[in-house]
Amino acid sequence: MPRGAGEARVASYYEKEIRRDPGSAVGAPFVRRPVRFPSAFVTVSNPDSLLAPEEVAHAIAALRGLSEERDVDAWRTQHLGRKSRLMGSLRALGGLDRSRRAAVGRRLNEAKAQLGAALADKQAELKARRTQDLASLDVSLPGRPLPLGGLHPITRTERAVVAAFATMGFHVIEGPEVELEYYNFEALRIPADHPARDAMDTFYLDGPDGAAPLLLRTHTSPNQIRYMEGHEPPIRLIAPGRTYRNEATDATHEWMITQTEVLAVDRGLTLAHLKGTLYEFARHLFGEDREIRFRCDYFPFVEPGVEVSISSPDGWIEILGAGMVHPEILANMGYDPEIHTGFAAGLGVERIAMLRHGIRDIRRFYENDLRFLRQF
């Protein structure tokens, strides 16, 4: 590019600007004559207007009144940042006449030095204040405790029961809490005249006219029936969940309890397998030193049936009922009772928790008394 061509092009640009706005910051009316224009003409064309001492003093005074680091950083960006007026003027010095360049540069550098020194003093002041604040902080003081929640004792016990059977190859299934009479009673050989089917013992629900009666399940055994309908042996399952019974509440009875049902169906299972499984379960939860007792009992869905009790300071306490699955139930599920046999057991989780923790009143679990619950 020939010498002076760049200056002529810059001059042409500013000539157009002056024509467009004769009252612009350039000053005098347009006169067509060759002029040397700097690349930041509006900023440095008049050195007397560049950051006068009073402007610098005003900026420094504003800085001294700041107390937050984010405000100081904003001040630095405004007055010393790349896009600030001062830095733009410094970049434009190369376009000034050599005779004016030294004087304008000196003034700009003095302003930059004053602003930079004021900024350094303010940053040092903020740093000293931070150090002082940290020195006054006693890190040896204990922190403020945060309240921590925990699992309900029934949930803890239920998980312990599930874990005990899981070590023996059983898996968990779940089912609806609102059930049909068929799954809750009929499929389990509980006849229509059984007391459990009376409204005084079971919560029945209003449903559409002509629809099958609905109720809140009284045990989790319906889950076993639902599972057997869709699966072939071998079966190893446990069915935990809430159950509901319409009965008076006292120290040993609640209208809602958590129950876990156990079922195994396979070739050649006997009462010996049931006893071995329940012995292992009881020792897992209560320890090796507890004695376990089996006695004959009756349940309509097993044959023979047994009750299992565990020793305690108060004598023998029943913890569950069990037995061999009735052949009629197996046949109704499509299994051949001559080939497949099974055993089942049902236990109340609240009763297990009471025995493990020495609690004598079942109602304590559901009174929401934090003084009681925080002990677990």
CA-to-CA dists, residue 296 to 261, 269, 271, 302, angstroms: 19, 18, 12, 11
What is the Cα–Cα distance from 118 to 115, expressed in whole angstroms?
Answer: 5
Q: What is the pLDDT of residues 98-128, one digit of tens each?
A: 878 888 888 888 888 889 899 999 888 888 8
Helices (H), 174-291: 181-184, 221-230, 271-286
Percent of the chain with pLDDT over 70: 86
- Per-residue pLDDT at 213 exceeds 80: yes
What is the Cα–Cα distance from 190 to 196, expressed in whole angstroms?
Answer: 8
Q: What is the pLDDT of residues 21-75, one digit of tens each?
A: 444 444 444 443 333 323 333 344 444 445 677 888 888 888 888 888 899 999 9
- Which 3 state secondary structure label does DSSP give 187? helix
Backbone Cα Rg of the chain: 45
Backbone angles phi, psi at 278, to 5 degrees: -75, -35
Average pLDDT, the chain: 82
Domain range summary for the chain, segments of one domain joined by +? 38-135, 153-373
| Domain 153-373, CATH homologous superfamily name and number | Bira Bifunctional Protein; Domain 2 (3.30.930.10)
Tokens representing 368? 């929401």
